[in-house]
Amino acid sequence: MSTVLAGYGLVKKYGPTTALAGVDVEVRERDSLAIMGPSGSGKSTLLHTLAGIIRPNEGQVLLRGERVDNLGENRLSALRRKRFGFVFQFGQLLPELPAEENVALPLMLEGTPRRQAVDRARRWFAPLGLEGLEQRRPGQLSGGQAQRVAIARALVAEPDVVFADEPTGALDQRTSEEVIRLLTSVTRASGAALVMVTHDADVAAHCDRILQVRDGRISNYSQFTVA
Amino acid sequence: MSSPVLPLTWHLTKSSGRRGLQSHLLAAGAAAVGAFVMLVIVAATLGAGTRADHTKWRTPDAVPAKQATAVQALATTYVRHEPVTVVSLAQLPDREQTPAPPGLNSFPKQGEVYVSPALADLLRELPVNQLADRLPKVKSYGTIGTAGLAAPDELVAIVGRTPNAPAVSKAAGDTSSWFDFGQTERAKISGFTGDTPSMFTSGDQGIAVMGVILLAMPVVVLSAAAGRLGAARREQRLAALRLAGATPRQIIAMTALEATALGAVGALTGALAYVVLLPALAQVPFGVGTWYVDTLWVGLPWLATVVVAVTALITVSAVSMLRQVANSPLGVAQQADPRRTRMIRLAFFAASLAVIFLFSGGGLEAKQAVALLLLFYGAFWLFGPWVVDRLGRLVSRFAKRPATLLAGRRLSDDPRGAWRTVSGLVLAGFAAGFFSVSMLGTDTSQYRGQIAVSTANASEARHAATEARTLLSRAGVTATVTTGRADVYDNLLSGGPGVIAHVEGGQEQLDTAVTALTPLGDGRFPYGQDYAGGSDKAAFDRLDAVAFGTLALSFLVAAASAGLTAAANVLDRRRVYGLLRLAGTPLKVLDRARVRETVIPLVVLAGGTTAMGAYGSYQLNKAAGATINTSGAIELVVCVVIGAVAMFAAISGSRPLLRKVTADPAQTAD
């Protein structure tokens, strides 16, 4: 499998604080990578740097071999919209839109006609166990259901990479287990890679690889074989 | 043990950071605008009453002949289309000395002429054959003091006469023509107490009250929006303080305290702005012109009442917002169900309209008319959210682009909130639309170019016609002079005896003709189209002024409300905006969505009702055969366009805030 996303020699400083101190990381197609570490270790900074949300002070980020960290803000924004998907802890769904329109939003932003976008969005409801919830608004969904809608939204535009930042942080253990299993399996099935920040070892265990980050450096690297 | 609420509130307010300070400043700013607008409209209402009171002496109560000490006659003549009120006074011989009229130190002696400062300026400015020659010739004019005047711009003269002078004769007080009403009076008097204000000031207070009614709701909405600001911050504080062990009562007390302090600071600032700007406000013409500064001073009790009312509104709004959070924090944060509106609103509106049509046939007393107006207002207030809800659903159904879809969903999600932002303009727009094009009343355009002089009979008219030709020729006025005929009604004499001069040339020639023909009037001034349409014009000018004043102030308040609401929404929704932007949603999509959220109901509802008002007025005018006030319609369009741009600018004003709160998505997401 070829490398879809890579970061080499990534350094990020916030004033006197060094959040990333020369990190190298590669993500292959259909790969799932968990980034773990204590608070302030730089794990979220690493995810945001790889996702083109923040620019590194040094180093390069490559997407399918093309450098992306030096793109202009508009092109970076378009890149995030078209090539990446995002799942956050909570609060990412627009409360006034029904679930299917929340999922269809990235497609509509790309100019897909609304009906077509909603049709494509609906296809994600069955694999994620959301049938019958298409018209529900986020406030009418449970936490687990809302996260599954967020996963559908992250995948609907068929991205190269899905970034997840503590996607189960606001869920109970059982729901968390269910959501993470769906996230990893559906992402893999879609052909996208997954990069996820988590502090939960049980959640990280669902990924192919785990990166331990401490003081802005990779302190440990583990590889699992997921059945 | 003393309560910890006050010191804790002070500490939290002080340490709320830049964003907290922004919210505080915006809330205080809204309170300032609310208090300022309220004070201005209260000042206009009270001031209009004071002005009217200052004119009552010109039509004092008549007394029986035996008790009379003087004869008073009121006449009105026009120069450059402006009315000049001339009060002739004659002391009756062998009677007690009549007291001095307001504005003079003593009762005027025969031959004395006192004029208002504005009239003195005009007398100096215009050639004598256009104005000064209408008054008795004097070496110098006395000055009427402010006690006898409604406004600095008023054109008033007091002329001392002998009791047998034509100007105070019965003929001079003849009010047989329909257009004499309010412009010509005569009475035997013993003083200057009276209850009848001048025609030019009598309707002002009622019209100003209409402005108050129309503007009250936008101010309430603005204050409520100010109270809503910082709701998200307070929500976080609620959670943190509850965890720290604070009781709901303590949290509500802290919120109330903070909102009261901010509201009071803002309202006092607005009150201060009103006081400081009083001289500038006094320069805004309404009715009889600009104002005396003290006429617009509302007094300390009113000042305090407005400050307290605005502060209370903000406090109640902030506490009620917090109560919703306290009762169901998740319900507010997530808002599980859309706040749908029911069909009962439409039914109530329809029923109210039926009642209004049923009872508005005519012959209504003022109180009944106000009751019907309030019913319409209330019904419309309930109906508005229903329309916004349906509009939102319609927009969402047919939206093709994400920004429009978002705006439509937001409208149907919280139709009451969206309605509150635009409601003031919707109602003001209707009134402004109606009054700006309305010209109901008598069409006097057929009298253009005519100057009439009434005579006692036809033979006097023939004699007067000959003399008129001589006088006009001597004054250099080209005119055709005819006498009135009993079977001709389409001229200023309406079938009565007298002389009509058809003057060629502009207003200067007409003013010269009136002046030249004054000696023929036997105590009455010659009159033209302005005199015939004086009463209607006075009413229309005021309606016009209040329509545009209301619309302009509504736009000011609505723009402030919309700007505040937009800023509050950005702050309340900064997390979701931040995350959407992080996921690549262009800022302009988020921005367009929130602008359309206000612009769509504004254009449809406010534009619709303004057009409805204008159309209704047009139809009414058409039915009555009256002309349309085209200049008013143009002014309305200009006002609406400027106002809409101001609102758009106010909403766009929070764009930097949106950019800022989403600028560092990484920080926002955390």
Segment B446-460 mean pLDDT: 81
Q: Is the pLDDT of residue B331 over 50?
A: no
Segment B562-578 mean pLDDT: 80
Closest CA to B352 of B344, B341, B362, B342: B344
Segment B351-372, tens digit of pLDDT: 988 888 787 666 666 677 777 7
User: B115 and B177: one domain?
Assistant: yes
Q: Which residue of A has its CA nearest to B412?
A: A96
- Reading phi first (left if > 0) and then psi (alpha if -120 to 50, else beta), residue A62 is in beta
* Element containing residue A223 per DSSP (H, E): strand A217-223
Residue that finishes a domain, picked among B273, B301, B335:
B335
Cα→Cα distances B573→B66, B273, B442, Å: 80, 33, 56
Tell me whether residue B608 is in a domain. no
* Domain hosting residue B62, numbered range: 56-189
Q: How many domains does chain A have?
A: 1
Contacts of B83 (CB under 8 A, 6+ apart): B76, B77, B155, B183, B200, B530, B534
Segment B628-652 mean pLDDT: 78
Tell me whether residue B11 is in a domain. yes
Q: Looking at residue B334, what is its pLDDT?
A: 45
User: B133 and B214: one domain?
Assistant: no
Distance of alpha carbon B89 from the chain centroid: 35
| CA separation for the pair B524, B134 (Å, rounded) | 10
Q: Which of A43, A92, A94 is the mutation pick for testing B, counting most B CBs within 10 A?
A: A94
Tell me whether residue B107 is in a domain. yes
Do B584 and A109 lie within an 8 Å CB cutoff? yes
Q: How many domains does chain B have?
A: 3
Do B334 and A101 lie within an 8 Å CB cutoff? no
Q: Is the pLDDT of residue B335 over 70?
A: no
User: B20 and B79: one domain?
Assistant: no
Please list the residues that pair with A182 across neighbouring strands.
none
Confidence tier at B585 by pLDDT (50, 70, 90): confident
Residue that finishes a domain, picked among B189, B222, B244:
B189
SS3 state at B8: helix
Do A92 and B409 lie within an 8 Å CB cutoff? no
Segment B234-258, tens digit of pLDDT: 666 666 666 666 677 777 787 788 8
User: B218 and B138: one domain?
Assistant: no
Q: Is the pLDDT of residue B460 over 70?
A: yes
Do A44 and B670 lie within an 8 Å CB cutoff? yes
Tell me whether residue B275 is in a domain. yes
Put simply, whether A49 touches B (Cβ < 8 Å) is no
Tell me whether residue B466 is in a domain. yes
Segment B132-184, tens digit of pLDDT: 999 999 989 999 999 999 999 999 999 999 999 988 888 777 766 777 788 88
Distance from CA of A225 to the nearest CA of B (A): 30
Q: Looking at residue B208, what is its pLDDT?
A: 81
Tell me whether residue B468 is in a domain. yes
pLDDT over 70, % of chain B: 84
| CA separation for the pair B178, B494 (Å, rounded) | 10
Tell me whether residue B80 is in a domain. yes
Q: Is the pLDDT of residue B668 over 50?
A: no
The size of the A-B interface in CB pairs under 8 A is: 85
CATH code of residue A202: 3.40.50.300
Q: What are phi and psi of A20, to 5 degrees?
A: -125, 130
ipTM here:
0.84
* Domain hosting residue A140, numbered range: 3-223
Residue that finishes a domain, picked among B488, B512, B532:
B532
b/e map B83-100, b = 16+ CB within 10 Å:
bbbbbbbbbbeeeeebeb
